[in-house]
Amino acid sequence: MQQILFALAFLATIIFLFRSFWRIKTNFKRTKKQPFDGQFGKRLKLTMQVAMGQSKILRKPLVGLMHAMVFWGFIVITIGSLEMVMDGLTGQHRVLGVLGIAYDIIIASGDVFAYIVLLGILAFLFRRAFMHIRRFEGTEVSKANKRDANIALAFILFLMLSLIGLNIYDINSHGDALAGYYPISSYFVSFIETGKTNSIFLFKLFWWMHILLIFVFANYLPYSKHFHVFMSVPNVFFSNLEPLTYLPSMPEVKKEVELMMSGQAFETAAPEEPIRFGVKDVDDITWKNYMDSLTCTQCGRCTEVCPANITGKLLSPRKIFVDLRARMEERSREHEGTQNFLLGDYITKEELWACTTCNACALECPLNISHPNLIMDMRRYLVLEEGDAPEELNAMFANIENNGAPWKYSAQDRLLWTEA
């Protein structure tokens, strides 16, 4: 009966999770293609350094180490979770115990990390509840965002408590016959005074509590900012490998310029559908832009170092991707004829023009999200499609058009200052 119940719960989890990922896949299909350059070796090295090694997180030594330990703990504990799925489907107990000493190492690591993660989550909850952290504030950090963070932390808290409980009562039930090594839980067993029957019952209670929490949490993540649990590693792998200061050209504009320079501009048939220059809505972004929005942890490290935000400007780099994800969710639900757009309804031009393109946000982001590239694409729309730019830029554009240079002097008068 327990195997049947587990199989039904597992099947329901897979179905709902597949449905969530299918919705996300549909959203990806709305985006534009972006060429992938390969470079697997370089990307794997970067992934091991930034995603697995947490190198950018550790720039804040204390908080960074706490987060890194939680991340590494989840990786180890996931192995135990996979074993629980195998146990549930086969009706066996500690099915991977046949691995011998390798199993002892895995279980011992998971047992230690369970307590480390528990302490880390308690610290994170304390910081959010009682400490005023500036980067946790902002117009984009709504009550719903804060509630989402607390719900995710609560899930992890109870996951660790249930894991610790099942380990303790499993040891109490099986004694030395239990496969695996539990360096911390075995110590606490001496403080537990329950008979074998009660221990078996409590083990099963914590076992079911833990696996059901895993199933529910997995289906909650696609709708949470903690979706980075799934997305962080692939997003770092697909990082922009160009220097941060490099801004990619627009293929459409480059093609037009090349045709004009070659004298073939009027010999090439016009595209059937007019091409939009830059980004106005989520249909204009690339798949990597959308992946960045799904990966964003909303940690605020980007906004914390943004010189525009520090000096009181409207720009918050974090808000750009919070808005992008929210707009994509809205876009997937709206009907034809809806007039909402990413640019204007979510992100204002004042925010975009406040950016200095210093790339401090991209440098600090622990998951290698590229904020300036998306900001520049939305600026390009404003300039190329709307002719909407700050007065100083419009003056420069007029000078380039009339004088071939950003200055107001003609080519003939440009060197007159040398004769003074």
Give me 57's structure tokens.
């997180």
- What per-residue confidence (pLDDT) applies to 307? 96
* Residue segments in the chain with a per-residue pLDDT below the cut of 50: none
> What's the rounded Cα separation, in Å, for the pair 172 and 186?
9
* 3-class DSSP string for 178-212: CCCCCCCHHHHHCCCCCCHHHHHHHHHHHHHHHHH
Looking at the structure, do residues 16 and 69 belong to the same domain, yes or no? yes
- What per-residue confidence (pLDDT) applies to 264? 67
In a domain, 280, yes or no: yes
Looking at the structure, do residues 48 and 166 belong to the same domain, yes or no? yes
DSSP letter for 347, please.
B
DSSP 24-80: HHHHHHTSBP------HHHHHHHIIIIIIS-TTGGGSHHHHHHHHHHHHHHHHHHHH
Residue pair 298/145 in contact by the 8 Å Cβ criterion: yes
The number of CA neighbours under 13 Å toward the Cβ of 126 is 7
Give me 160's structure tokens.
């660790």
In a domain, 397, yes or no: no
Looking at the structure, do residues 38 and 137 belong to the same domain, yes or no? yes
How many domains are there within the chain? 2
Give me 220's structure tokens.
């909650």
In a domain, 398, yes or no: no
Looking at the structure, do residues 61 and 170 belong to the same domain, yes or no? yes
Looking at the structure, do residues 220 and 260 belong to the same domain, yes or no? no
Nearby residues of 389 by Cβ (< 8 Å), 6 or more positions away: 382, 383, 397
Nearest one of 328, 406, 343 to 377, comparing CA atoms:
343
Counting other chains too, the contacts that 130-133 makes at CB distance below 8 Å and 24 or more residues apart are none
Looking at the structure, do residues 255 and 221 belong to the same domain, yes or no? no
Domain with residue 325: its CATH number is 1.10.1060
In a domain, 237, yes or no: no
In a domain, 418, yes or no: no
In a domain, 345, yes or no: yes
Looking at the structure, do residues 201 and 329 belong to the same domain, yes or no? no
pTM, entire model? 0.89
> What's the rounded Cα separation, in Å, for the pair 384 and 255?
15
Looking at the structure, do residues 21 and 65 belong to the same domain, yes or no? yes
Looking at the structure, do residues 211 and 258 belong to the same domain, yes or no? no
Looking at the structure, do residues 256 and 188 belong to the same domain, yes or no? no
> What's the rounded Cα separation, in Å, for the pair 158 and 213?
8
In a domain, 400, yes or no: no
In a domain, 73, yes or no: yes
Range of the structural domain that residue 94 is part of? 2-225
CA distances from 104 to 11, 80, 98, 111 (A): 30, 12, 10, 10
pLDDT in tens, 250-274: 877 777 777 777 766 566 565 556 6
Looking at the structure, do residues 157 and 48 belong to the same domain, yes or no? yes
Give me 129's structure tokens.
């509840």
Rounded to the nearest 10 degrees, what angle do helices 143-174 and 61-90 cross at? 60
Looking at the structure, do residues 41 and 188 belong to the same domain, yes or no? yes
